[in-house]
Structure 1
Amino acid sequence: MHWANAVAYEQSVPQGLATATVLTYGSYTLGAHGPESDIDLLCLGPCIATLQYHFFVVLRQILQGRPEVSEVHTVEKAKVPLMRFRFTGIAVDLTYAQLPVIDALKAINTFSPQLLQKIDTRSWRSLSGVRVNEQIVQLVPNAEKFQTLLRCIKLWARKRGLHCHYLGFFAGIHLAILAAYVCRKFPDASVSGLFAVFFQTFAHWPWQVPDPLRHDFQWSWLFEPFPYDQKYQQFLRIALRAPTIAELGDWAGWVKSRFRFLILKLERAGIECDPCPSEEVDHTDNDPNVVFYWGLIPKRIIQVDTSSLKGDFMEDLTNDVYGTVKCTHSDVTISVVGLPQLPKSMCSRVYPPAVHAALYDGLRGHR
């Protein structure tokens, strides 16, 4: 993409490292667009490309230089900032999300909790359009019926003067959610039947009550323990030992205050981990101990040199007199273990599909 290369050149980043991509969402992606529909696009940019300058200034100048593009203007103060223009006469709304990576093309999974945790609020709002679209597509039982129903409903709303969100009426996404609700509630109905049910359902709908697409969701699932044993196959086991309970308390407190250095060492080695804060006890060890298990994110075959890792970490623990004294009679061991070595207290129950999806599709990102 010419724009990504221009940004990389300005930021002195080698060509080819920074990438960007464009995703569609809205009525076009849902298959319910018509002759008067605009095209909703989301630009996913690298971490070096800012919204205010690289998107609203640099990209705008590039677009204005294209013969197919006309009527370019920006809406910078909106809740979801965007750029509007016409491409060969077709209206386009282009939003922007700045991703926390240099290669945006590889980070295209918009449901990644790790991604959502690191982006700013405006980028999160821009991403929500694509995420909601994907959820709707996954939830409707029959895509063809849904698309036909939504096109009919949008035509009705437009003719009746109700398809105008900035006047307080329906936006396209609102109609899509209502149509999806009807399709899920009556999966075997014909399109004409669904159209009739739509009016029967929402003519007297109490609008203070939300229209749920996922009836199987319960808020209590938000507080379910994270299923580490279902998410990861390998774990970094960090065991702390001391001669007495009192010494273990001091030792564990000191080591935990230095855990951030251990995480940085893992990241520098290309190893991503998910630290679990739970403190376990190895009852097969006669000495007072506390054990931590960190999930190893399976990006590739994980090989951890635990001996070097421990040696480097011990240097951080003994970098002053206090740490040296603590290490005299206490110890830390680091190893990689699999699921069979995970304590039963960390083994979660089997979740129903809806709970499993809720735990993995973003709820963890808001812990």
Structure 2
Amino acid sequence: MSTTDGYLGVTQPISTSESNEREKQVTVTLMEELRKQGTFESEEEAKTREIVLGHLSALVKKFVTKVGLAHGMSETAASATGGKIFTFGSYRLGVHGPGSDIDTLCVVPKHVSRDDFFDVFEDMLREQPGVTEASGVPEAYVPIIKTKINGIPIDLLMARLASPSIADDLSLQDDELLRNLDDRCVRSLNGSRVTDEILRLVPNVTVFRDSLRCIKLWAQRRAIYSNVNGFLGGVAWAMLVARVCQLYPNAIAGAIVSRFFIIMYQWTWPQPVLLKQIEEGPLPVRVWNPKVYPADRAHRMPIITPAYPSMCATHNVTASTQMIMTEEFKKGSEIVDRIIVGSADWSALFAKHDFFHKYRYYLQIIASTRSSDLQIKWSGTVESRIRQLVMKLEYVESLTLAHPFIKGFDQVHYCLTPEEIRAVAQGDVLEAVAKRKKEDVEGKEGATAVYTTSFYIGLAIEPKPTGSKGPRKLDISYPTTEFTKQVKMWEKYIEPEMGITVRHIKSTALPDYVFDEGERQPRSTLKRPKSGKDTDKSNGTSPDAPNKKRRLVQHPKANGHADSLVPLATHSASNSVSEPVVPTSQPLKTSQNGTIASVNPAATPATVEPTPPSNGIYTVNVKDPSQIKSPQLPFGENVAVATGVTPS
């Protein structure tokens, strides 16, 4: 917002000074590094995007006309009702890179319904030349159609205005357009309205774009760019960078990036010390709205959108993801300080994350189906619920961090037997299946393609107390069981066709596809506590050795389906034993003291069978929310991870 005092934002600038010579020098090297990193698309790709958007604009008008004719309008009247597309997100901001998707809003008149959008328009999309994908998710919080046209990925939203026609010169800036609209239309419009407001409120669009391009690349490389997984999404990063630009209106990109990291680290850590400054000072909380947004105090990192109605763009942030981002802000600040004084270069800021080297244990969540179109919807549904699993894990006693990775890994395997189908759905892919190609199974009876998307959560627990003896146990059966129940409550869930598996794996058992070529470290380089002994007393094996024996567990409900339709796996990983086990689907029980507990699991993938308590029940230790500790970073290399034994 522009104030009567002549400055942008809710407070006065911190400094109006011009950037010094050193800041100008590092800005030049920053832009060189961004080009070297491949963040700018080619001229050919830019032209392809323009052509695709032109075709899409014509298709939307054709769609509106078709629906009008179905409502009994004359052809002249139907074609006059119009329809228009607006871009938003990174493409509209001018910071998109090669292969980036285009966030696109389709604005239609009142006679076009949302059902028309997902039935009529989606079918029209599939019929267009160059369209290789078209999958709608009408039940999403912001309903969306994901498509790919001439190789350009596009996310399509729809907003239905309370108007009989859509003019070609329509602007979305007027708040009156929101009258009488349902919440989904308001949310869809918000993306475009917020993007336009950000561009209007920055003092220098070029500086803003250069700075944001740097921060986006950094956040992506450090694996903290994902709204759905509890980190910050594109609009939140854009608002933060825009706010720093407001605070230093005459600074150039190198200076903005340097000050960005300092401000972000001050804002996020430690919160209690800076609470008064956050509420009253020039730090970027309540980034745009000078009034207290009612939901601010319920959110960990409230960043409020500038367009009416103001919304919190960071409501997904959890205790764990805030911890992780805080540490990354600290590291980024230290690196940029070294760049400014000349002891480091910009490539150090863009170093790849170490997520798959950081923890000893991980949760693997596998969503599986037999259809590529169905897999997009099912895996998206599972991914949208992972944040809830992370929040449940945060309350488990001794678990200090549940770190979700920002994307899933898609794979297709071609199976010949029901046993292979179940194994793939559970993450146990035989070498023969992994090497098998589509042409190897064509024409063979019983051949089935199984589509899987695997998500990962890194787990860390508190260090073992000094002087304690014997293995420790961490029970996560309750969070994982509740998670599988929650995703299966999806209204379109079909058990024989959709699989969901949650299991623990050691870092040494991570699949090769999560690593870049040559990135995987030898097992001997993985650090562990120095105990003076090479074996784990609980089972006589090396604590970093992979499990050699794994029992496949079929979901009990899988029995009873027709033989021609082999159910995909559905089970959860587990629980409070010396090596984790796969629980059955038996219902949770309550112990005598009222604590939630799970039935003793029946099978274990470990090399030894655990000894259950005398009552056959494993207690789930859940933290009191008030007892959750502030983050203690950085994380120690010797932190043992949940569901496994802490080495002696």
TM-score category, normalised to shorter length: 0.5 to 0.7
Q: How far 1:112 moved relative to its partner?
A: 2.4
Counterparts of 1:277-288 in structure 2, within 5 Å, are: none
Cα distance in 2 for partners of 1:102, 1:20 equals: 10
Note the C-alpha offset of 1:116.
0.8
| 1:7 match | 67
Structure 1 position 219, deviation (Å): 6.4
Compare 201-210 and 64-73 and name the one that shifted more. 201-210
Q: Is the contact between residue 69 and residue 85 of structure 1 (CA under 8 Å) also seen in structure 2?
A: yes
Contact 1:97 1:126 in 2 (8 A): yes
**Do the aligned partners of 1:101 and 1:107 also contact (CA within 8 Å) in 2?**
no
- Are the aligned partners of 2:65 and 2:81 in contact in 1 as well (CA < 8 Å)? yes
- Counterpart residue number, 2:146: 84
SS in 2 for 1:203: helix
1:77 and 1:112 map into 2 onto residues whose CA distance is: 28
TM-score by length of 2: 0.33
Residue type at the aligned position of 2:258: A
CA RMSD of aligned residues (A): 2.2
Long gaps (5+) in structure 2: 1-60, 279-283, 294-305, 310-648
The residue aligned with 2:167 is 105
In the TM superposition, residue 75 of structure 1 has moved relative to its aligned partner by: 1.2
Aligned mate of 1:71, from 125, 133, 151: 133
2:109 aligned residue: 46
- Asked whether the equivalents of residues 108 and 161 of structure 2 are also in contact (C-alpha less than 8 Å), the reply is yes
Q: What are the equivalent positions in structure 2 for 1:160-179 lying under 5 Å apart?
A: 160-179=222-241
Matched, 1:211 2:301: no
**Tell me, which stretches of 5 or more residues in structure 1 are unaligned?**
221-357
The residue type paired with residue 194 of structure 2 is V
Aligned-pair distance for 1:68? Answer: 1.5
Question: How far apart are 1:170 and its partner, in Å?
Answer: 1.5
Which residue number in structure 2 is paired with residue 58 of structure 1?
120
Is the contact made by 2:84 and 2:168 (CA closer than 8 Å) also made in structure 1? Answer: no
Counterparts of 1:109-258 in structure 2, within 5 Å, are 109-206=171-268, 211-214=285-288, 217-218=290-291
Equivalent-residue separation in structure 2 for 1:9 and 1:98 (angstroms): 17
Matching of residues 252-267 of structure 1 within 5 Å: none
Match of 1:34 in 2: 97
CA contact (8 A) 1:112 1:362 kept: no
Shift of 1:102: 1.6
Q: For the Cα contact (< 8 Å) 1:25–1:40, is it kept in 2?
A: yes
Q: Cα offset for 1:199?
A: 0.5
Equivalent residue for 2:549? none
Give the secondary structure class of the aligned counterpart of 2:147: strand
Contact 1:28–1:39 (Cα < 8 Å) also in 2:
yes
TM-score by length of 1: 0.57
C-alpha distance in 1, partners of 2:179/2:65? 27
Residue deviations 1:7-54, cap 9 Å, x none?
1110112333321110000000101101132100000011011002x1
Amino acid at match of 1:165: N
What does residue 81 of structure 2 align with? 18
AA aligned to 2:87 is T
Three-state SS of the structure 2 residue aligned to 1:67 is coil
Displacement after TM superposition at 1:156 (Å): 0.4
Secondary structure (helix, strand or coil) at the match of 2:179 reads helix
Rounded Cα–Cα distance in structure 2 between residues aligned with 1:105 and 1:125: 21
Q: Deviations for 1:166-213, whole angstroms, at most 9, x for unmatched residues? A: 211111111000110110000111211111111001023147856234
* Percent sequence identity over aligned pairs: 33
Going from structure 1 to structure 2, the CA distance change for 1:77 and 1:182 (only over 3 Å counts) comes to: same
**Cα offset for 1:137?**
0.7
- Confirm or deny: 8 A CA contact 1:19 1:102 kept in the other structure: no
More deviation, 9-18/72-81? 9-18
